[in-house]
Structure 1
Amino acid sequence: MSASYFQERVNSASQNGLSPASPSVGPASRGANALSSRITSVLSASYADLEIRDALETLDSRQVHNSAETRRQIRLDVQKEVIQCNGEIVKDFGEVAEQLKRIGTAIKSLNNCCADMRNHIAAANQETGPVLEEATSLITQRKQVEAKQQILHAFSSHFLISDDEANVLTSTVEPVNEDFFQGLTRVKKIHHDCQVLLGTEDQRLGLEVLEQSSKQLNAAFQKLYRWIQREFKTLDLENPQISASVRRSLRVLAERPTLFQSCLDSFAEARETILSDSFHAALTGTNSEEHIATKPIEFHAHDPLRYVGDMLAWAHSTTVSEREALENLFISDGDEIKRSIQAGLESEPWLKEDGDKEVFDGRKALNQLVSRDLMGVARLLRQRVEQVIQSHDDASLAYKIANLIGFYKGTFVRLLGSDSEVLDVFNTLNTSAMRQFRANMRDYVANVQSDLAVAPADLSPPDFLNEALQMLRVLAKSYDTSVAATDDQGQGFQTVLAEALDPFLSGCENLQKGMQQPDSAIFAINCLFAAKEVLASYRFASERVSEIDETIDEQVANLTEYQHQYFVHESGLITLLEALSTINDAEESLKTILDLDPFKPDALVAASQQLDEFLPSALIDASENLKKLRNRKMIQDITEEAAGAFCEDFERVESKMVASDDLTYDEDKEDEEQEPGLRDLFPRTSGEIRVLLS
């Protein structure tokens, strides 16, 4: 629009004969300069100016066309519009002023009303002030009374119990049920919370409540203690479903360690009496309350081992049952009893023991309680078993009983622990049985030693050794089936060997002392082999078997030397060996062999003949010397080893004679007749000897 406006201005000027770019040629130069200035200012004006933009927008809104008439009228029209607008504003302000006058009148009226109201309120305040103060005081007093009532109600509901609740806690007529335990829990909480009251300035109330709650707690625990005592008298431990109320009562009673321990003591005494009566009934079969389907244990008293085994088996079975029942009764609730005893010791610190010992070990306490329950049975068992041990003089029976007791001792250790008092009874019985075993063995050995005479003619083990080995076989089998065979690596069997074998081997040694070789060694080997056969199959006797093997090797060495001497003497080689004992390998020494008497031609020929006569039956004759040896293979091995030593001796004689012949042989007289050499007179070679003795 602005562009069209200026365009119209330009066109209009052109129509009048003027050009914006050309100078004026009109009437006067002053007018031309003014027009030029006006045009220049218009052209140099910035159309981005807000005022110009607003003016142009106003012109556009009026849809003014750029013409001479419009240009003349526009200022007048604008001024007219301005005057009209000012008139309208003045008119509007007149109406506003009129409204303000009415508002001022209303405000003045309101101020008068407010002043009247303030006067009335001041008068009313003067009249109602005392009433309000009194009402405020009453409201404050009411709030204080209500607060005290709330405190009293809270105190009564928390720190006091009703007469009915107190009756449930202390009266023996009322049962021990859920209401009792709930009341006890509440009184314990009251007793604990009295610390808050004792922390106030006035401690009288706290002390009174503490004293009352302490009396109620003591009475409740006494009632619970007496109730548990009555329940224990009628409690059936054979019933796997033991009353849950008894378990709970024990857990609660543990908060009073003194009462809890007293309860356990009386329970242990009652159970000890019951189990002792049951054991006596099982022994004799007399029971007025119930019928025993099985035969009484004493029915088998004629069989001592079974009799003792039945008694131990009954004690073991009873211990297992007692432990399972008491485990359900005392430790089925985990560590509840331990925590209760800990709480009780905190409330009764004078009961604490010095040191860092654990307050309560459920398993250990259970083992101790079971041990105390079994003490009556253990005493009766000890009497009966000792009677059996002392009334029999059979050493093997005493040892079997000792092993049986050792087996059950290990079982009771696993059940009750290593510090159980019941184990003292087993230790005593085991010691008694082993003492009886040693006494019986020593009596038997004394009887045997008084009857010792001479060894059997066939050099076999004597009868007393065979009987001892039969007993040793029984004892070894008994030990092998016992727990000790795996626990002590055979150390326990050394006592048996010392009592049941060593004295009899010593007796054989005494018989051997009066014998000559080879009978002495043969008799010793036969006895040792008999003992080895009994012990070889048991691992726990391996150490003793090794010792026997060493002794056998010594005796075998003696027999080998005896056979060797037999070979060299019977073959006649002994004279040659003795003669050569002073000859060494020096030439001068070898030349002296011819001067020795055994190497004279006649003597050497006789020795050769004696050797030839000996060799054909040498092995048979030598084996005949050992025919009483029971181990046939050993006879052959000993003879062959002795023959080997004989061959070595022969080779030594042969080498000396060959060396001597080599020194005395004269090659210059080879064609002439020479005296026969040593090898000519003694032609046997070592190879031939080895073939004949192989």
Structure 2
Amino acid sequence: MSKLLSPQTPSSPSFVKGSNPLTSKVTGVLSASYADTEFRDSLALLDERGVHSTAETRRQLRLDLQKEVIDSNGEIINEFAKVAQQLRRIGTTIGKLNESYLEIKSQISAAQGATSAALQEASQLMTQRQQVERKQALLMSFNFTFVLNEDETAALTLTSEPVDDRFFVALQKAKKISQDCEVLLGFENQTLGLEVMEQTTKHLNQGFQKLYRWVQRELKTLNLENPQIGSSIRGALRVLAERPTLFQNCLDFLAEAREHVLSDSFYTALTGSSRAGAVDASVKPIELAAHDTLRYVGDMLAWAHSAAVGEREALEVLFISDGDEIAKGLQAGRENELWRLVADDGDNAVDFNPVTALNELVDRDMSGAARTLRQRIEQVTQTNEEIILAYKLANLLNFYKSTFSKLLGPGSSLVDSLEALESEALRQFRSLARDHVATLQGDFQHTPGDLRPPDFLLDALEQLSAIMVTYETSLTAEGDREADFEPILAEIFDPFLSGCSNMARSMSPPSSQIFLINCLLVAKTTLSRYSFTKSRLSQLLARTEKEKEHLVDGQYEFFRIESGLDPLIGSLADLDDTKESVAKVASLDAVQMQALTRASQTLDNFLPSALMDAVENMRHLQDAKLARDITEKAAERFCVDFEHVEEMLMLADDLAEGEDAGTEVQSLRVLFPRTSGEIRVLLS
């Protein structure tokens, strides 16, 4: 049994000898790998053909496969036979083509030999024709570049022809010809260039003169009441800028016309009728509609501002939209003007600024109305006799001066006029303020019995309040408002406060301090409402504090004298708690028995009504809280002095008891029994 299972069995000699083809076949099949790709493809092919594993099928399988291979080879041979037949036909066709090519080649050679002379002659003729065409094209190009045709010359120079697109096209061409003539002048023979330039310059001058006259006619026919510069006039002026003199003449003409129109319009707005006497029912006359002087001046300035804005908007398109083109044209014109070349002052020429030119033109347009405006406002200013109105007029003029400065620039004549009017209004304001102070000199001598602020100060503060309300609306920069308002305070406030100070000097304390503090408090109340009076308000507060300290000193002196302690406090003020100082206390006159007893009795009589009496001294001070503060500070100082007196008397008693221990000594505290605590209670 073990021999049968031994691994040596298959390789035994007896088994090898018994092998046959079937065994080899089985061994090959068993050794085949089912993981082989070709083997799997073979099995899949058999499955597709539907071959069943039978004995008959297995015997016929090889024969069937060989038969199919033979049939496939036969079909391929038949197809290649057809291809060979087609190749034979192609070869025949190519042979015929070669024969035709040779025949055509011989015919072409014969034709070329026969036509060579004609072709040579035709080539020469073509070369001559090209030369003629080049000369003709050069002539046409020269005529197109350097010569104006009859239609272009007529459109450029004849006044009967309109100024339209054809004119501007011809003018542009003439300018280009003039520039291109510089090329012709670069050759040795300059005759042609000089002739063309002379003729072109003549046409250009005629064209600019024609354009200048046309622009003047168009400006006359414009609706000057509301001028809208159309594209044609704008383009014409842009081109005319290349002749600065003609351009400036047109602007002068326009400015003169607009000055008359706006001047008449302003007169109509003032009176309701034109200078010729024609009544305009649609206009509400300013002179009749204005109810007061300020409204009258404000309406006139508002009309001027509205007119300037309307004028600027109407003319803005003239300079802003094509400003660069106008500037370029003016620059080119200046460079080409003969007198500029002779004077050689081109470096001094100012570049054209469209915004500045617009502002200058509007300013010139408004000059006539501005003269009338200045005359009317000067008349109003000079006839005014009210201080507040004078300042309101100055503030109103300052507002419109700033407005026109932003609109037309700070250097315009209208702004200069308003600045002069503002100065005149401020001068009138200062004059009226000084006259008012002069008329009140008599009132400065009469002091109110109840020490209240005088009426002239209250009136002045009322005027100042009205002026500060007006100044609050001004356009002065925030950082400059305080310094700008200081001269107003100097004119309208300082003289009255100085008058109050002079009145206070004629009084005796504490009435002088109370009166002055009352005046300072009411002034502080008025000035504290606005931010541009901070500096002056600080000065008033500092002065009030100074006068307050004087009142505190007066109340403190009242406490010392009325309490009878002034000699005692004065005697003990320079002594301290050292033994040497304490030893001096008993020898002082104010500390002797009789004097100390009298001082104690006076103090007892004073204390019950001391606080009421002190408050009564401040009864005229209009600020009750300030009066209490002053009294409390004075009482505190008095209590501190009393504490020092009490301390020195107690130290003197202690020293006396220590030195005379065996004898009886009169105690100072017995003669002067009041304590500092009692004093604080009674004076609180």
TM-score (norm 1): 0.77
**Partner of residue 159, structure 1:** 146
Q: Secondary structure, in 3 states, of the residue corresponding to 2:366?
A: helix
Larger CA deviation: 230-239 vs 439-448: 230-239
Q: CA deviation at 1:363?
A: 1.1
**Partner of residue 60, structure 2:** none
Q: CA deviation at 1:144?
A: 5.7
Change in 2 beyond 3 A, CA 1:533/1:485: farther
**Partner of residue 502, structure 2:** 510
The answer to whether the 8 Å contact 1:405/1:426 transfers is yes
- Is 2:183 the partner of 1:200? no
The answer to whether the 8 Å contact 1:169/1:216 transfers is yes
**Partner of residue 522, structure 1:** 514
Q: CA deviation at 1:530?
A: 1.4
- The one of 497, 500, 515 aligned to 2:492: 500
Q: CA deviation at 1:260?
A: 1.2
**Partner of residue 690, structure 1:** 680
Cα distance in 2, alignment partners of residues 237 and 295 from structure 1: 21
Amino acid at match of 1:503: P
**Partner of residue 467, structure 1:** 459
**Partner of residue 24, structure 1:** none
- Kindly report which structure 2 residues correspond to 1:93-492, keeping only aligned pairs within 5 A, or say none: 147-236=134-223, 239=226, 242-287=229-274, 291-300=280-289, 303-348=292-337, 350-351=339-340, 353=345, 355=347, 359-484=351-476, 486=478, 488-492=480-484
Q: CA deviation at 1:596?
A: 2.0
Q: Give 5+ residue unaligned stretches, structure 2.
A: 1-105
Cα distance in 2, alignment partners of residues 486 and 685 from structure 1: 59
- Is 2:585 the partner of 1:598? no
Q: CA deviation at 1:427?
A: 1.0
The answer to whether the 8 Å contact 2:229/2:315 transfers is no
Cα distance in 2, alignment partners of residues 250 and 239 from structure 1: 19
Cα distance in 2, alignment partners of residues 241 and 413 from structure 1: 24
Cα distance in 1, alignment partners of residues 255 and 231 from structure 2: 20
Cα distance in 1, alignment partners of residues 131 and 477 from structure 2: 87
- Is 2:671 the partner of 1:681? yes
Cα distance in 1, alignment partners of residues 229 and 347 from structure 2: 36
Amino acid at match of 1:587: K
Cα distance in 2, alignment partners of residues 494 and 676 from structure 1: 68
Cα distance in 2, alignment partners of residues 234 and 553 from structure 1: 75
Cα distance in 2, alignment partners of residues 639 and 139 from structure 1: 130
Q: CA deviation at 1:218?
A: 1.0
The answer to whether the 8 Å contact 1:197/1:205 transfers is yes
The answer to whether the 8 Å contact 1:236/1:242 transfers is no
Amino acid at match of 2:667: G
Q: CA deviation at 1:267?
A: 1.4
**Partner of residue 35, structure 2:** none
Amino acid at match of 1:282: A
Root-mean-square deviation over aligned CA pairs = 2.8
Amino acid at match of 1:304: T
Cα distance in 1, alignment partners of residues 368 and 345 from structure 2: 30
Cα distance in 1, alignment partners of residues 318 and 630 from structure 2: 74
Q: CA deviation at 1:172?
A: 2.1
Cα distance in 1, alignment partners of residues 349 and 641 from structure 2: 81
Give CA deviations for 1:330-371 in whole Å, capped at 9, x if unaligned: 212352212222332333375485547752111111111111
Q: CA deviation at 1:521?
A: 0.3
Give CA deviations for 1:510-531 in whole Å, capped at 9, x if unaligned: 1111100010001101111111
Change in 2 beyond 3 A, CA 1:213/1:599: same
Amino acid at match of 1:419: G
Q: CA deviation at 1:688?
A: 1.3
The answer to whether the 8 Å contact 1:237/1:325 transfers is no
Give CA deviations for 1:249-289 in whole Å, capped at 9, x if unaligned: 11111111221122112211221111111111111110367
Amino acid at match of 1:189: K
Cα distance in 1, alignment partners of residues 566 and 196 from structure 2: 119
Cα distance in 1, alignment partners of residues 337 and 439 from structure 2: 69
Give CA deviations for 1:610-638 in whole Å, capped at 9, x if unaligned: 11111121111001001111111111010
Q: Secondary structure, in 3 states, of the residue corresponding to 2:160?
A: coil
Identity of aligned residues (%): 52
Amino acid at match of 1:247: R
Amino acid at match of 1:172: T
The answer to whether the 8 Å contact 2:323/2:353 transfers is no
Cα distance in 1, alignment partners of residues 390 and 251 from structure 2: 38
Cα distance in 1, alignment partners of residues 348 and 612 from structure 2: 83
Amino acid at match of 1:313: A
**Partner of residue 580, structure 1:** 572
TM-score (norm 2): 0.78
The answer to whether the 8 Å contact 1:479/1:485 transfers is no
Change in 2 beyond 3 A, CA 1:608/1:148: same
Cα distance in 2, alignment partners of residues 174 and 503 from structure 1: 78
Amino acid at match of 2:362: V
Q: Secondary structure, in 3 states, of the residue corresponding to 1:295?
A: coil
Give CA deviations for 1:479-534 in whole Å, capped at 9, x if unaligned: 11111263623221111100000011111111111100010001101111111111
Q: Give 5+ residue unaligned stretches, structure 1.
A: 1-109
Cα distance in 1, alignment partners of residues 488 and 636 from structure 2: 42
Cα distance in 2, alignment partners of residues 497 and 314 from structure 1: 32
Give CA deviations for 1:39-59 in whole Å, capped at 9, x if unaligned: xxxxxxxxxxxxxxxxxxxxx
**Partner of residue 623, structure 2:** 631
Q: Secondary structure, in 3 states, of the residue corresponding to 2:680?
A: helix
Cα distance in 2, alignment partners of residues 278 and 353 from structure 1: 42
Cα distance in 1, alignment partners of residues 638 and 372 from structure 2: 73
The answer to whether the 8 Å contact 2:269/2:285 transfers is yes
The answer to whether the 8 Å contact 1:238/1:325 transfers is no
Q: CA deviation at 1:300?
A: 4.2
The answer to whether the 8 Å contact 2:155/2:161 transfers is yes
**Partner of residue 68, structure 1:** none
The answer to whether the 8 Å contact 2:319/2:355 transfers is no
Cα distance in 1, alignment partners of residues 622 and 551 from structure 2: 14
Give CA deviations for 1:124-147 in whole Å, capped at 9, x if unaligned: 99xx9xxx99x9999887766554
Q: CA deviation at 1:157?
A: 2.5
